Structure 1
Amino acid sequence: MSKASKFFINCEEANLFCDKDQYEEASFWEKIRLKIHVLYCRVCQKYVIRNRKLTNTMKEAKVITINQEVKEIMKKRLQQEMKKSSNQSIQS
């Protein structure tokens, strides 16, 4: 494998490295290879920009979610209500 081929990657690899970088899972060399690829590939440049915008939007959103315990309680209540509704329609 030549030295150049160690640094040049295809678009599929670039997208994978970009996604890994979004979740802070990309290695140092993956980041370097991605930067080299993005220098000459306009399609991947746009992908990286959109990915960064998505990441920033999610970080800024400060979404608050409910915990798993509350989800389970809600699920059980919903199932109970659906069962009641189903029984009532059968009796009618």
Structure 2
Amino acid sequence: MKKRFLFISCEEAKHICDKRQYGESTGWERIKLGIRLMWCRFTKAYSKNNNKLTDALNKAEVDCLNRIEKEKIQKEFEQELAKHK
């Protein structure tokens, strides 16, 4: 069995961690990430911070502008920009 079969690089672990955050990682990738998390403190820290970010974004109550409001602001911006040309 090759060493690369189970042991992944830190960069690959970060990529898998990001994929896991969005539910796009496979079971095999999660297993390899779990092995990496057992011994790599840098990957653990990255994963921990990634989880905190995900939790913060899920808990955030952000009110976004709808399409009509965005278009109105864009139009006003373009009008003001035309005045200063």
Question: Is TM (by shorter chain) over 0.5?
Answer: yes
The AA in structure 1 aligned to 2:48 is I
**Structure 2 residue ranges without an equivalent (≥5):** none
Partner of 2:46: 47
The TM-score with structure 1 as length reference comes to 0.81
Offset of 1:31 from its aligned partner?
Answer: 1.0
For residues 1-80 of structure 1, what are the structure 2 equivalents within 5 Å?
2=1, 5-80=4-79
Of all paired residues, the percent bearing the same amino acid is: 40
The offset of 1:38, in angstroms, is 0.6
Higher relative CO (Cα under 8 Å, sequence separation at least 6) belongs to 2
Structure 2: distance between partners of 1:67 and 1:25: 28
Greater radius of gyration (CA): 1
Runs of 4+ in structure 1 over 4 Å off: none
Query: In the TM superposition, what is the alpha-carbon distance from 1:62 to its structure 2 partner?
Result: 2.1
Taking structure 2 as the reference length, the TM-score comes to 0.87
Following the alignment from structure 1 to structure 2, what is the Cα–Cα distance between the partners of residues 66 and 30? Answer: 37
Gaps in structure 1 of 5+ consecutive residues: 88-92
**Deviation of 1:82 (Å):** 2.3
* Equivalenced residues, count: 85
Q: Alignment RMSD, CA only?
A: 1.6
